[in-house]
Structure 1
């Protein structure tokens, strides 16, 4: 039973003291791939170092996280675009909209988001999308509205850390996206217990968002890729199926998103 963690910030400083042990623990849990979203220029070096060290296991994305969008966002976008043009990445991410922390640069977030969606469509790469609501604004709905408006050919990817309603899940699926299911699914009041029983396995991928959002029983502690099995078991329990079925489907779903450059990582290659 192999699993894929489709979203983990394993270059984060929280892993500096035991990164090798963390990766060994993930390997013991049969985590075959860990997908690493970028945040901004400051995270590129750590991201690329792991890509160099584990090229078939730790797969990098490139993008500008909405929470890192400030008055220097154009400089940040230029740096991300330069990386995309010079190196191989499996996705554009982490991109999107964040209304939770600060609304100062929301207009700039939309510019950055649209710009990066266009990069993904042009380069035939999936996207990893962050949509965190706040200040009485629904980030998922506004992101979905923009995607519908742009109607970019072939655009696909993952709504990372999906915590929405069943209607929102169905909307994401209709747009051609997978739902990234993480530790929130294990939370008592996370809300996904009302959604996941009604969503087909073909539309789900698993993620940790390590070092954040650790699943129960580690909630509040540092998250890590090895905990993905707990999330898989939660999905299995909610759908009344075996964890092996969850692993098989979610791994296949993740692999289906890999761009052509990564075909060597597909089964039978």
Structure 2
């Protein structure tokens, strides 16, 4: 009787059932039939046909009441059954599916795999020293270049700081020199400016007071202001001062390169010909 279990009864995962083994009375997916069932010598005489999917699966599921996972192997009691062979009339575990002669075949395969690995290791052992040596050479070369570049950058940085300090000192000297020529905080122009501004402010104050009194024309205010307001008129004079005409001349740009130095690439010397 054809088993109509919905999923593959070999892997119990695939729902794509395409084959039915009449000897085992189980449904198989394409993968299990091709890769496992058909390759086992013990099952080679089993009759496998295309599964009849058109029949009612719901009714057929009631036919299979046995869970293979709950059945022990006929030979290995500690192993679970994975399939049942009607020809052998025995429940079989995964170990039973490999017959004694197949162990010999597996031993041959094992020996081949070991030989392959040994051959591969031999080839690796042969070429490894070359790459070990070259990798070490390039590691040293790379580390050496990094150290060399860092040393040069450190020298440039130190020189930059030295130049910076030198330039700062030169700048202070120039500023001091300028201050001796003309002190922007203490000079004749500043003094005369303060004097003229003071006179300007005093005149403006008296001007505003007189304008306010004349505008109101109050006798008491007019008499009071005339008696108290200063009548002194300052002399119209201002010092003729000519500040020094200073200009700044920038240093030549090439001096910067000379001060900081330069980085050059040492030319490669190639021996072309020798003479005796």
> What is the TM-score when the length of structure 2 is the normalising length?
0.16
Q: Going by fraction, where is helix more abundant, 1 or 2?
A: 2
> What is the TM-score when the length of structure 1 is the normalising length?
0.16
